[in-house]
Amino acid sequence: MKNITVIGVGYVGLVTSAAFSDLGNCVTALDINEERITNLKKGIMPIFEPGLSEVVERNVRAGRLFFTTSYAEALKDAEFVFIAVGTPEGVDGEADLQYVRMAAETIAKTMDHPLIIINKSTVPVGTGDWVSDIIHENQPHPLEFSVVSCPEFLREGSAITDFMTPDRTVLGSEDTNAAERVAQLHLPLRAPIMVTDLRTAEMIKYASNAFLATRISFINEIAHICEALGADVKEVARGMGYDKRIGHHFLEAGIGYGGSCFPKDVKALSHMAQIHGKHPQLLHAVMEINDYQRRHVLLKLHDVLGDFKGRIIGLLGLAFKQNTDDMREAPSTTIGDYLSEHGATVRGYDPAARDAAKRVMPYLELVNNPYELVKGADAVVVLTPWNEFKQLDGQRVKEAMRTPVMIDGRNLYEPAAMRELGFVYHGIGRGYNTGDNS
């Protein structure tokens, strides 16, 4: 059993704390947000993540997981300290490192024995060296420490599984012994462990997310061409995916990527490139295509309805993806804001993101189920591919609507079947199947 401290109980920090304690370690999770820590002690989760509350409860009950707002308490017996604080997007797209700085300064002033400090937050290349300098500058008395980069590769909605069965663990440090000790922590996960220098490890995280975002934007651009030429992008992607060099992952055309990682990380990588005199043309194109996907859905809706004023439009799904309540960079916010500003009554339904959506979309009329959403509506826009939406009674939906218009931003439904039911149906890149370039 190792003594581990995790600073930050947001998405990454709480999952990291829960998972390491579930592996048999003693973990103290720290956050300066007193309300969040108080709620966690009561078993109230700050985020919606399948399976997380059960893992937290099990390990609190077993005496392996603790929560505190005190650095002195958290660092008292720690061997490893993970920094997992937020790195929000700055003014110019750069990562805002104020919370990382605060954590590093407070660790330096509080530590009373040697530590291995591990950057788990997604941070710009060079941050490991910067954190090391901050700790050196703020220590009252010199104490040994090492800095290791251990980027996270968690997907919202499957974070516990991703942590426990990773594709790989990436570690970066200038201290080989420290990297080896952190590697030992991850051995129970039985995944390949790659050890490299600090900056390379930090870059692996950004390059990975940028590449996945590029795949999404690529297939969305192909979808536009499919619409023009009368091809079906779902079949195109399926045919591409059988090629082992390509694969099927992240080739689903739709309304683009969102959430806390891809938008922020692509912008941050582009910013890093530009301030060093490089020209990230591909990254710019990825972002432009992604931004256009929201407008593309609105254009489809406008082509059918014309003026939005006085229309009732339902948004089926609000979170940026299924199995989460995360509204950060969610397409629903862009689309809902535009519709509301142009006179539409905007309804919304999501199985998990109800409260989070209301905070960022105050104009939203929230309903309790999909059938309530479509009652008397002029159109419904599918924005989140929750499994429950795949089983909706299409006939019941059609009969409840004032006009049976569906813009399927996730290609959940088959165009021919929806048209047979009597819908005016538009998917993304489904030109061949619809016969009308939708």
Quick: pLDDT tens for 82-98: 999 999 988 788 889 99
3-state secondary structure 289-308: HHHHHHHHHHHHHHHHHCCC
Residue 433 confidence (pLDDT) above 80: no
Per-residue pLDDT at 93: 84
Question: pLDDT tens digits for 110-163?
Answer: 999 999 999 999 999 999 999 999 999 999 999 999 999 999 999 999 999 999
The whole-angstrom separation of Cα 413 and Cα 197 is 47
Pairing between β-strand 169-173 and β-strand 145-149 as defined by DSSP bridges: antiparallel
Q: C-alpha angle with apex 194: 189 to 199, nearest 5 degrees? A: 125
The DSSP element (H or E) to which 196 belongs, if any, is strand 193-196
**What three-state secondary structure class fits 57?**
helix
Residue 48 confidence (pLDDT) above 70: yes
The whole-angstrom separation of Cα 215 and Cα 220 is 9
Q: Which of 79, 74, 125 is nearest to 103 (CA)?
A: 74
Q: How many CB atoms lie within 10 A of CB 368?
A: 9
Amino acid at 25: N
DSSP, res 67: E
Q: Which of 381, 383, 227 is nearest to 308 (CA)?
A: 381
Contacts of 361 (CB under 8 A, 6+ apart): 318, 332, 333, 336, 337, 340, 346, 348
| Alpha-carbon dihedral angle through residues 381, 385, 388, 392, given to the nearest 10 degrees | 40
The whole-angstrom separation of Cα 55 and Cα 163 is 12
Question: pLDDT tens digits for 215-235?
Answer: 999 999 999 999 999 999 999
Residue 431 confidence (pLDDT) above 90: no
Q: What is the mean pLDDT of residues 182-211?
A: 98
Contacts of 213 (CB under 8 A, 6+ apart): 257, 262, 265, 266, 286, 290
Residue ranges and CATH numbers for the domains of the chain are 3-195 (3.40.50.720), 211-434 (3.40.50.720)
- The fraction of the chain above a pLDDT of 90, given in percent, is 96
Residue 435 confidence (pLDDT) above 70: no
Per-residue pLDDT at 434: 46
Q: What is the mean pLDDT of the chain?
A: 96
DSSP, res 155: P
Per-residue pLDDT at 438: 52
Active site residues: 261
